[in-house]
Structure 1
């Protein structure tokens, strides 16, 4: 038994007594938070809350086309085999423990097999880090690739319009965010000259979103090759956000890593969109490094992956079955999204004051609001707010994606619901349109 007197004596040397008298009378609480909290707000959630704060003035049933959640209505049931595999993992009782922080070997090998099957790209299991959705994969990569400002300057290239979470995750890091434009007249493909001009010796990565959120575009093979030439010239890796990979209909999807023979490509993907299970929160990062020049990034990914215990063990156990889903199931989903794309494109094209390009990928349509057509609606936020108030249709204004003057529609409802949406939008625009 330890000597209590000895322990007390030791504690008396290591912990100085609190001098109550030294605390100023009347002192108030001063609990502070980092300024990065406000910088890191998700504009999509903030805008949703502000527009829907008050109930619509109409009795029509509200239709939410703001969040990219394919389960809201739902669009299509998840793969039956995936559900069965999760049930088996739960009932089997052998998938409840901690796993390697970067993911189990079996789950990572399933990702390797998946990308070989669909992308034609060879990975090793050591190139894969499993994450809590693509959001955590982005956070992991930014933390690994962006140094403190006290060490080195850094910048990162981000698309505009682009996914709002990029800037939210970068807000508390010491990186300059440089936006490159996507050109509407070219089906929202990358402005290659702008990317070329923005890159310099401090550029840590170029982010590419393909298929695009919010634009619904699917980049051509030629443009992707030209982007690789720019990255090769500047010796900059590319973070390829391909969470909507293979969700295309007008033309095949081209995985960026399948084209690169030199530029390191870190592909981000997961289950949320293509497999229609966003709430399962499961994604991954896969490093394609043809010349072996990104070994430090690979090591950093593993270190950061092991800061936590990886994504949940149940989905990891079921992953080999989930990723082996037959192509026919995906065909059914794509057919439904393409049908919605046609309904929305035709409807908006026939609406005075609105225009859009035909969406060819992901699950979005990005529409332009004519600046002079609606003089009583000062901007895209006012447009979206009034549309919700009068027609109970919620869409996200373009400012959420760095592109004011537009709004995004999610293509993830039954066809009859989308037909109703188009009719409501047309009625709304007819009332507010001025020549």
Structure 2
């Protein structure tokens, strides 16, 4: 009897090969972005949009004290010579082309002259890279100093409270962010012990913001020296965000680079705040490297600077004139900001449930909310939302700066507008606070 299985096998092999069946899979759209986009949102802009999405319930004229834009009302006109210089650069027609990515020789020399004049710090033009405002300068610098996590672990120290853009700019990089506290009872100067404890072998930089946004503080010379001692001990460079440099009144401003004999200091500054032209988007980075140990950062800044064609060519052409502005013009601006600071300090001190330190620099007052005094208001965001709804005054909640329970007032309006703001805030607090003002 034949082997049935063998016959079956022979029959199968004798048949024509089967055609493979192809399953047709319909592709779907898969458009997506990097997760870094979600981490890079600017909480200041988002909070502004959220709180002001609806019209206030009152009939009062809205007053926006949320954004640090001194042109909104405006506080003071820019230097007349600066306006003339930009106009002449445009009319002359000689400043319309591409420039060196790190900036023209003339513009960088103007920056060097400016810092030697005001800071008593000497820079070679090779130490200077121009940028599209300090924000882009920070983005450039962070990209230079922070390696991919696959290559090397790294961390960076940031202040708390601090400017929200720092975190947003670092969101697409691989550094661990470590926050050190600024201490309110010490006029918002840094917690030195905390900085010392946070530094390790993977720390790429300590970022110092002075004068401070949002605190309105101006660090003492001794406080800055103490920071340098810690940086020297840990051999960590410092990023000095000094966009509000020399915008102080109760005490002189001390540039950090002027104190350092060893620690590399990368100073960032620009035109937006001191010259009252934030829309011109013009800033710069200066490397102070007394021991010549940060040549890699210098080369990296130059390399990254040339990824673009440099900032606005018209402003570069006008920069020598802009930066030669006479001290009298700055004095007029500072006198106005100081007057606003006093109005806010006195007005907040008289408002139940609020307290603040008198600002001494930059253009901000950071106000503490005693939430126990406002039983119907759960947090600083609710406070700012209700204040806008009832009094048409917009302030930024402290949450935007990593410090819940506070809000920031911008010192950038005419005095009569700020007086009106204080009256509205006092009315709001009197309505919602359980504190007896007569006690």
Deviations 1:58-110 (A, max 9, x none): 00000000000000000000000000000000000000000000000000000
- Match of 1:421? 421
- Match of 2:185? 185
* Cα distance in 2 for residues equivalent to 1:73 and 1:417: 9
- Match of 1:101? 101
- Match of 1:135? 135
* Match runs of 1:26-41 below 5 Å: 26-41=26-41
What is the CA distance between 1:434 and its match in structure 2?
1.2
* Cα distance in 2 for residues equivalent to 1:392 and 1:260: 46
Paired residues, what number?
415
Deviations 1:199-228 (A, max 9, x none): 000000000000000000000000000000
* Cα distance in 2 for residues equivalent to 1:292 and 1:92: 41
> Please, what TM-score do these two structures have when normalized by structure 1?
0.95
SS in 2 for 1:385: helix
Max Rg structure: 2
* Cα distance in 2 for residues equivalent to 1:98 and 1:26: 48
* Cα distance in 2 for residues equivalent to 1:392 and 1:201: 49
The reply to whether residue 247 of structure 1 matches residue 247 of structure 2 is: yes
What is the CA distance between 1:349 and its match in structure 2?
0.5
| CA contact 2:79–2:275 (8 Å) conserved in 1 | yes
- Match of 2:402? 402
Give 4+ residue runs of structure 1 displaced > 4 Å after superposition: 22-25
| CA contact 2:371–2:377 (8 Å) conserved in 1 | no
- Match of 2:163? 163
| CA contact 2:245–2:255 (8 Å) conserved in 1 | yes
- Match of 1:82? 82
| Cα distance, 1:24–1:122 mapped onto 2, change above 3 Å | farther
- Match of 1:348? 348
Unaligned runs of 5+ in 1: 1-21
- Match of 2:9? none
- Match of 2:302? 302
SS in 2 for 1:372: helix
| CA contact 2:127–2:298 (8 Å) conserved in 1 | yes
What is the CA distance between 1:28 and its match in structure 2?
1.9
* Cα distance in 2 for residues equivalent to 1:30 and 1:233: 50
- Match of 2:372? 372
* Cα distance in 1 for residues equivalent to 2:273 and 2:162: 17
SS in 1 for 2:373: coil
SS in 2 for 1:207: strand
RMSD of equivalent CA atoms? 1.0
- Match of 2:72? 72
| CA contact 2:178–2:198 (8 Å) conserved in 1 | yes
- Match of 2:48? 48
* Cα distance in 1 for residues equivalent to 2:23 and 2:217: 62
- Match of 1:17? none
* Cα distance in 2 for residues equivalent to 1:93 and 1:384: 48
Unaligned runs of 5+ in 2: 1-21
| Cα distance, 1:307–1:57 mapped onto 2, change above 3 Å | same
What is the CA distance between 1:371 and its match in structure 2?
2.2
What is the CA distance between 1:27 and its match in structure 2?
2.5
* Match runs of 1:320-339 below 5 Å: 320-339=320-339
- Match of 1:117? 117
| Cα distance, 1:430–1:28 mapped onto 2, change above 3 Å | same
| CA contact 2:208–2:239 (8 Å) conserved in 1 | yes
SS in 2 for 1:293: coil
| CA contact 2:213–2:362 (8 Å) conserved in 1 | yes
